[in-house]
Amino acid sequence: MNVPTNAAAIAASVRAGELKAADVLEQYLARIERHEEQVHAFNLVLTLEARASAAAVDEVVAAGGDPGPLAGVPVALKDNLCTRGIPTTCSSRILERWRPPYDATVVRRLAAAGAVVVGKTNMDEFAMGSSTENSAFGPTRNPHDLDRVPGGSSGGSSAAVAAGFAPLALGSDTGGSIRQPAALCGVVGAKPTYGLVSRYGLIAFASSLDQIGPLALDVRDAALLLDAIAGPDSRDSTCLAEHPPAAAARLDGGVEGLRVGVVRELAGAEGMSADVVARMRDAADALAAAGAKVDEVSVPAAVYGLSAYYLIAPAEASSNLARYDGVRYGARSRTGTDGAGDITEMYLDTRSEGFGAEVKRRIMLGTYALSAGYYDAYYGQAQRVRTLILRDFAAAYRNFDVLLSPTAPGTAFGMGAKTADPLTMYLNDVCTIPSNLAGHPAISVPFGTGADGLPVGVQVLAPALGETLMFQVAAALEAAAPATPVPAMRAGGQEGASR
Amino acid sequence: MTTTTTEWETVIGLEVHCELRTATKMFCGCRNSFGEEPNTNVCPVCLGLPGSLPVLNRTAVEYAMRIGTALHCRVQPSLFHRKNYFYPDMPKDYQISQYDIPINADGWLDLPNGRRVGIVRAHMEEDTGKTTHVGGGGRIHDAAHSLVDYNRAGVPLVEIVSAPDLRSAEDARAYVDELRSILVATGASDGKMEEGSLRVDANVSVRPAGSPEFGTRCEIKNMNSLRSLGRAIEYEAARQIALITEGGTVSQETRHWDEAAGRTGSMRSKEEAYDYRYFPEPDLVPVEPSEEWIRSVQDSLPRLPADRRAALAGASGMTADSDAVITVVRLGLDDLVEAVVAAGGSAAAAAVAVRRVANEVASDPEAAAGLDRTAFARLVAMEAGGELTAAQARTVLKAMMDGGGDPDRIAADLGFEAMDASALEKVVDEVVAAHPAEWERFAAGEDKLTGFFIGHIKSATDGKADLKAASALLRSRR
Amino acid sequence: MNHMPRRITTDDVAHVARLARLRLSDVELEEFTGQLAAVLDHARDVEALDTEGVPPTAHPLPLVNVLRDDVVVPSLDRDEVLRQAPSVEADRFRVPRILGEAP
């Protein structure tokens, strides 16, 4: 039996009755069994639940029905997406034993599309981080090089896809948490337009920036997954009511005549490594060769994005994470259980024991930015910078259809290399943050390797609801890209399966 | 003693929290219902579970707009903010509330006595859960631990903030009473203070009479009836005056009214001052009512108590702030009087109707609901036309309220017949003749003997006499 | 133009930690103060930006009036809810004694 490596082909074969969802699943479970211990992509592998869903998909097919566009496709879920009765931890001690009494909207959409959820993936605690080293349950390793980080915060999801543990994964992206790990793991990752995908059941980090998005081995699969989860949801007031643009509508459309702008401020941003910038130039040349009109463009306010982001996101987070207080769910300190202290003592101990250092840092930063006397200088000012970024993007899109930039400043870095200095870690997000502040879509596509032979990602940015065009350009970029290295475990797993 | 004492003026502003009587909570579809089993009306949203998101209840917005319109506010585009503080009755440890851009601003309310009270704002926010203190007699500071029920968490509230325009406890009570009537009239609230649907906090300060500046104010909480509101304000004003008179200063703080002890006490605990860190709620979008929506709310608003009192006053010749008129409107029984007017009743008949409703019908609101309007109008016509005396009319009305029926028939069954003027004169003459000594004293100006003669006239006529006419006859004869 | 706030101090961080209900050791306090100061220093470019007349963007979407109908939907099963709680008594969430009234 030959199981295809991409989701589109798996779904087509399962729907056609040529392949059983159960067999697809077993192959992925076997690879997880073999390599998960090294990678630690998952907080939880849902072997039994996945087998039951796969069997249900096969029954639908056997009964002559259509299980949906993701029929029998294994999907890994970031562990900040609520799953009913299944632990959902955000990789935090404070939620270690919490079982949500409800499913996130995207989880329901996946089920409706026939997907098979294989597990909950590791992440930086509450999605705060760029390396997945801030997990209370230990770091995830990069399948390309186990001594390096997979990026973050959706490091578990991107590593799962890169390692061949699932052809598709969902992540969340607040300042680059899908795109940066996608770049570092050599996979495709997209952050949709804010409001395209319901956030209901996504455990909030920064509500005005968070979006759920796809990770996949290729652009078509990412589009397929996005199309399955996008669309209006009456449970999310910030979800767009209109029919969403189809990501997969024009993947073969090419780039002939399209105007592509290389963002000068991002290509030249603080800390960019030369090989990453070189790959982005290669990508621009490739698009030009394919018929696009490529030019430089200035988005002056983009450089202020990082600072604005590190005021806005922590501010919202400080409020979103107040609810972890040991009263209704989650962990509670012993102070609260043995009757020794009053409620304030219980709050202090529960939160100090339950949160890791990075989460505490951001809660304090955000509390400070909102506190009396500082609101206007910090939070208020950051919100005005957000307006400037929106204006500068609007000006750029008057002359360009899409924009191009590096995704991350470098390739995957060594474990522990940036943990000592939070600010250095934050600089990883400089190219990805402006899209979150603007609410615009952006996608990272693998494009060659760095000097160290590790994958490099190039980012395509589009205006709000520009997904169709963005995926069209991403597909053209993918077609022109040099071969991305395949981690041995994914290649090996495939050989094992076809033996 | 000839020392001059300073005249003090009390300055009061009230914050009234009003629960809206929507079917569901403000941001989720859980039932908005009082007195249910604990933690049964809860869901991911109102429990603040991770990943849940609020979606605003249209009817709650509509009710808030009705309240604002009834209070002559500007209804405007508005925003929700998060008010951040830790407290176990708040599931998210922040409250979703309107802050600097409320849906209703700058209105006013007229008290029945004509005093106009400014309304600063009437904004939307969510209610908290309910905490029960276990041990220590249920008092928070002595309790061993506490228990939380989140059924009330997320119930929609409108907070109505008055300007500091009130000057006495009596004013404050009249304001809350009037506000409650308005809230009930709009259909937005059931106005039940005892169930906590209306909760009042008072900002109280004192200043020398005539001073243009305000004194330092204290916020008084935990008053759960109009009576305790009045007592608390009086106590607090006296406390502040005594403090200042003795050379002390009032410090701005929140104080708790202790109903049993009859005093306010400082609520300040060892907790630090709050810093609420308000910021725009990113999970909600702005509420911008369209012109049409605002107009439809204006058009659908029922007549408000002040207008209804004015209408009753106009119809009856009574004053709008008379107790009877206020009572009729407060109980929403104006339609009984209107039925009399509609049946062609005179101003005098309308006044009779107002008195009957305020004195008799009001005492049994349940029976009032079943009272036939046409029959009531007929009864009033009989009394106003002299066919029945006031006492007889009361008796017939009671029978109508107890079992219904036609007033003419009831009156006939009771043997109530109109006594004509000559018959009454005859009885009066007989009674006077039978008590010459008393008559001499009455004729000499001893008015208190009126009752003596009236009593005899009443028993001589089996209560059929029009006693007002009888006393007029007595006076004319002396 | 906004005035530039002074550098964050350990007192500020201690105050903020208290507001956020986080307990910090003295070592953590020193460490966090340095780290927060570094991030805030980096944000000085933003503080210095002239944003006179620029309105704030709280939200990337221009949506207004997202409302739902006032229709009851079933609540959660109480046992399922209370099963997740650290401590329960009489079908309510049990918490240690509370020292202050709600503000």
Q: Render pLDDT for B151-172 as a digit per residue (tens, 0 to 9).
A: 999 999 999 999 999 999 999 9
Rounded average pLDDT over A298-317: 95
Question: In Å, how far is C64's CA from the nearest CA of chain B?
Answer: 5
**Residue B40: its chain C contacts at CB < 8 A?**
75, 78
Which of C46, C73, C79, C91 best probes binding to A when mutated, by most A CB atoms within 10 angstroms? Answer: C46
- A 95-154 residues inside an 8 A Cβ radius of B: 95, 98, 100-102, 104
Say if residue A492's pLDDT is above 80.
Answer: no
- Bridge-based pairing state of the strands B56-57 and C67-68: parallel
3-state secondary structure of A215: strand
Long-range CB contacts (< 8 A, 24+ apart) of B253-256? B253/B218, B253/B219, B254/B218, B254/B219, B254/B220, B254/B221, B254/C101, B254/C103, B255/B218, B255/B219, B255/B220, B255/B221, B256/B220, B256/B221, B256/B222, B256/C101
pLDDT of residue B1: 42
Query: In this complex, do A387 and C55 lie within 8 Å of one another by their Cβ atoms?
Result: yes
Active-site residue among A153, A157, A158, A172? A153
Does the beta carbon of A314 lie under 8 angstroms from any beta carbon of chain B? Answer: no
Query: In this complex, do C101 and B270 lie within 8 Å of one another by their Cβ atoms?
Result: no
Is-catalytic flag, A418?
no
- B 86-145 residues inside an 8 A Cβ radius of A: 86, 88, 91-94, 144-145
Percentage of residues of chain B with pLDDT beyond 70: 97
Q: Which residues contact B99 (CB under 8 A, 6 or more apart)?
A: B79, B81, B83, B278
Scanning every residue of chain B, which has its alpha carbon at the shortest distance from the alpha carbon of A316? B282
Percentage of residues of chain A with pLDDT beyond 90: 92
Query: In this complex, do B39 and C66 lie within 8 Å of one another by their Cβ atoms?
Result: no
Q: Which residues contact B45 (CB under 8 A, 6 or more apart)?
A: B25, B27, B28, B30, B52, B53, B54, B55, B154
- The Cβ-side half-sphere exposure at A226, using a 13 Å CA radius, reads 37
pLDDT of residue B369: 79
Measure CB to CB from residue C39 to each of A327, A330, A365 and give the nearest one: A365
**CA C35, CA C23: separation in Å to the nearest integer?**
17
Say if residue B322's pLDDT is above 60.
Answer: yes
- Write phi, then psi, for A13 (nearest 5 degrees): -70, -40
Q: For B230, left (φ over 0), alpha (ψ -120 to 50), or beta?
A: alpha
pLDDT band at B270 (very low <50, low <70, confident <90, very high): very low
More reliable by pLDDT, A9 or B363: A9
pLDDT of residue C1: 41
Query: In this complex, do B50 and A323 lie within 8 Å of one another by their Cβ atoms?
Result: yes
Question: In Å, how far is B284's CA from the nearest CA of chain A?
Answer: 6
pLDDT of residue C3: 54
Tens digit of pLDDT for each residue in B176-222? 999 999 999 999 999 988 888 999 999 999 999 989 999 999 999 98
3-state secondary structure C60-87: CCCCCCCEECCCCCCCCCHHHHHHCCCC
The token pair at A473 is 């350009």
Say if residue A84's pLDDT is above 70.
Answer: yes
Name which of A260-269, B83-92, B260-269, B318-327 the model is least confident about. Answer: B260-269
Q: Are A418 and A256 in contact (CB under 8 A)?
A: no
Number of A/C CB contacts below 8 angstroms equals: 190
Q: Tens digit of pLDDT per residue, chain C (103 long)?
A: 445 678 899 999 999 999 999 999 999 999 999 999 999 998 888 878 888 899 999 888 889 999 999 999 999 999 999 999 999 999 999 999 987 777 7
More reliable by pLDDT, B344 or C3: B344
pLDDT of residue A498: 33
**Residue A343: its chain C contacts at CB < 8 A?**
95-99
Q: Model's pTM, two decimal places?
A: 0.91
Rounded average pLDDT over B33-56: 97
Active-site residue among A53, A131, A177, A198? A177
Say if residue B3's pLDDT is above 60.
Answer: no
**Residue C54: its chain A contacts at CB < 8 A?**
384, 387-388
Tens digit of pLDDT for each residue in A138-195? 999 999 999 999 999 999 999 999 999 999 999 999 999 999 999 999 999 999 999 9
Is-catalytic flag, A20?
no
**Residue A367: its chain B contacts at CB < 8 A?**
277
Exposed, middle or buried, B165 (CB in 10 Å: 0-12/13-18/19+)?
buried
Tens digit of pLDDT for each residue in A393-411? 999 999 999 999 999 999 9
More reliable by pLDDT, A322 or A243: A322
Q: Which helix (H) or strand (E) holds A260?
A: strand A259-263
**Residue B26: its chain A contacts at CB < 8 A?**
none
Query: In this complex, do B51 and A203 lie within 8 Å of one another by their Cβ atoms?
Result: yes
**Residue B43: its chain C contacts at CB < 8 A?**
73, 75-76
Question: In Å, how far is A111's CA from the nearest CA of chain B?
Answer: 19
What's the mean pLDDT when you consider all of chain B? Answer: 90
pLDDT of residue A497: 37
Q: Are A346 and A335 in contact (CB under 8 A)?
A: yes
More reliable by pLDDT, B406 or A317: A317
**Residue B56: its chain A contacts at CB < 8 A?**
237
Does the beta carbon of B273 lie under 8 angstroms from any beta carbon of chain C? Answer: no
**Residue A311: its chain C contacts at CB < 8 A?**
43, 46
Scanning every residue of chain A, which has its alpha carbon at the shortest distance from the alpha carbon of B82? A319
pLDDT of residue B14: 98
**CA A386, CA C54: separation in Å to the nearest integer?**
10
Say if residue A87's pLDDT is above 80.
Answer: yes
- Write phi, then psi, for A152 (nearest 5 degrees): -170, 175
Rounded average pLDDT over A10-21: 97
Q: Are A159 and A141 in contact (CB under 8 A)?
A: yes
The token pair at A339 is 């009757």
Q: Which residues contact B175 (CB under 8 A, 6 or more apart)?
A: B14, B109, B111, B117, B162, B166
pLDDT band at A495 (very low <50, low <70, confident <90, very high): very low
Say if residue A496's pLDDT is above 50.
Answer: no
Name which of A76-80, A472-476, B75-79, B247-251 the model is least confident about. Answer: B247-251
**Residue A315: its chain B contacts at CB < 8 A?**
279
Does the beta carbon of C23 lie under 8 angstroms from any beta carbon of chain B? Answer: no
Strand-pairing partners, residue A76, are: A119, A169
* Radius of gyration, alpha carbons of chain B: 29
Query: In this complex, do B52 and A371 lie within 8 Å of one another by their Cβ atoms?
Result: no
Say if residue B271's pLDDT is above 60.
Answer: no
Measure CB to CB from residue A319 to each of B82, B144, B271 and give the nearest one: B82
Q: Are A405 and A267 in contact (CB under 8 A)?
A: yes
Scanning every residue of chain A, which has its alpha carbon at the shortest distance from the alpha carbon of B144? A339
Query: In this structure, how many other beta carbons lie within 10 angstroms of the beta carbon of residue A84?
Result: 15
**CA B243, CA B236: separation in Å to the nearest integer?**
10
Rounded average pLDDT over B438-454: 88
Which of A381, A390, A418, A437 best probes binding to C when mutated, by most C CB atoms within 10 angstroms? Answer: A381
Say if residue B419's pLDDT is above 80.
Answer: no
Query: In this complex, do B55 and A203 lie within 8 Å of one another by their Cβ atoms?
Result: no
The length of chain A in residues reads 499
Q: Which helix (H) or strand (E) holds B220?
A: strand B218-223
- To 5 degrees, how large is the angle CA A338–CA A347–CA A79? 105
Measure CB to CB from residue B42 to each of C61, C70, C81 and give the nearest one: C81
Which of B146, B220, B275, B292 best probes binding to C when mutated, by most C CB atoms within 10 angstroms? Answer: B146
- B 288-317 residues inside an 8 A Cβ radius of C: 288-289
Measure CB to CB from residue C97 to each of B23, B41, B146 and give the nearest one: B146
Query: In this complex, do B30 and C67 lie within 8 Å of one another by their Cβ atoms?
Result: no
**CA C69, CA C51: separation in Å to the nearest integer?**
40
Say if residue B255's pLDDT is above 70.
Answer: yes
Q: Are A155 and A176 in contact (CB under 8 A)?
A: no
pLDDT of residue B272: 52
What's the mean pLDDT when you consider all of chain A? Answer: 95
Percentage of residues of chain B with pLDDT beyond 90: 58
Rounded average pLDDT over B449-455: 88
pLDDT of residue B418: 62
ipTM of the complex: 0.96
* Radius of gyration, alpha carbons of chain C: 22
**Residue A82: its chain B contacts at CB < 8 A?**
50-51
Question: Quick one: which of A60, A118, A34, A77 has its CA closest to A203?
Answer: A77
Say if residue B109's pLDDT is above 90.
Answer: yes
Active-site residue among A20, A78, A120, A418? A78
Does the beta carbon of A235 lie under 8 angstroms from any beta carbon of chain C? Answer: no
In DSSP notation, C8-55 reads P-HHHHHHHHHHTT----HHHHHHHHHHHHHHHHHTHHHHHS--TTPP
**CA A91, CA A97: separation in Å to the nearest integer?**
11
